[in-house]
Amino acid sequence: MITMSKALTITVFSMTLVFITLTMIFFILKSFKTFIYKEEVVDKKVPVKANIKKELEIEEEDRVVVSLAASIIAGEGKVNPNFHISSIKRIK
């Protein structure tokens, strides 16, 4: 028969063994990353560009399609949800 102290000793030993094993696996996988996937350091000079915002022209047909899609989504399938679209803006 196993006493409570023996059971506690076995439990602590087993948990320690699992923790050590997982730590070893972690360091092995980390070493794979550093040794196998070693990237060469290359200094690439990227030209600095001025922040240029381009306004995309949205055609009237696209506005209508977006309006219809937005009202369908907002209405959640209701027959007459009474939604009014006040403005259309492009979100990136």
**90 CB-contact burial (10 Å; exposed 0-12 / middle 13-18 / buried 19+):** exposed
- Reported as a single tens digit per residue, the pLDDT across 59-88 is 777 777 777 777 777 777 666 666 666 776
The CA-based diameter of the chain, rounded to the nearest angstrom, is 84
Sign of CA dihedral 44, 47, 51, 54: negative
Could you give the angle at the alpha carbon of 35 between the alpha carbons of 33 and 41, nearest 5°? 90
Could you give the angle at the alpha carbon of 76 between the alpha carbons of 71 and 80, nearest 5°? 65
pTM above 0.85, yes or no: no
